Structure 1
């Protein structure tokens, strides 16, 4: 199943991602940037019926424009951010950035290829 992210209103809209991709909608100074990202090869989305810790780490790193680390450990704050699908952070210029994300279903791996379409 495709991942669909609704843009906040205004302006509204949708981001449709390929199977297994995660959709990210970033809001900065009222401007929206949307992108679909495919997890790196070898990264498992699920573990034991839920999302794997390394997948959560990858999603949060992509949302905050950080380098992906495989610590296999998340803070309570990071767990809460993943569960809510929203991350807030300050960029290098001190501006508040909000990123909303939608993850694929547990166990759903990317099919490969394809372009995301923003509508």
Structure 2
């Protein structure tokens, strides 16, 4: 039986592809943590541009061109994030699980359900 979900090591596969891509272009010297963090921020800002003048940014407000642009910017954000994690020795999967656990402590479901305020505001 095959599964449609990505393999558990899909972040590692992306890491390997980004390493190969940079190596083939001799870009490793430019992929410092500082530069990657800056590039990540720029790509996140480019993602926000697709939502900038929408009333709510809900899915029904997005045409096909916007959806394509969003998809490409999300990919750029992910790829820079994977590269930054690689350069700083962060296991993204483990870090995400750790952060979910920390957020569960910070935002107990019974206490914050339906409330968007920050944890220190209730």
| TM-score computed with the length of structure 2 as normaliser | 0.24
Structure with the larger strand share: 1
Q: State the structure with more CA Rg.
A: 2
| TM-score computed with the length of structure 1 as normaliser | 0.25
Structure with the larger helix share: 2
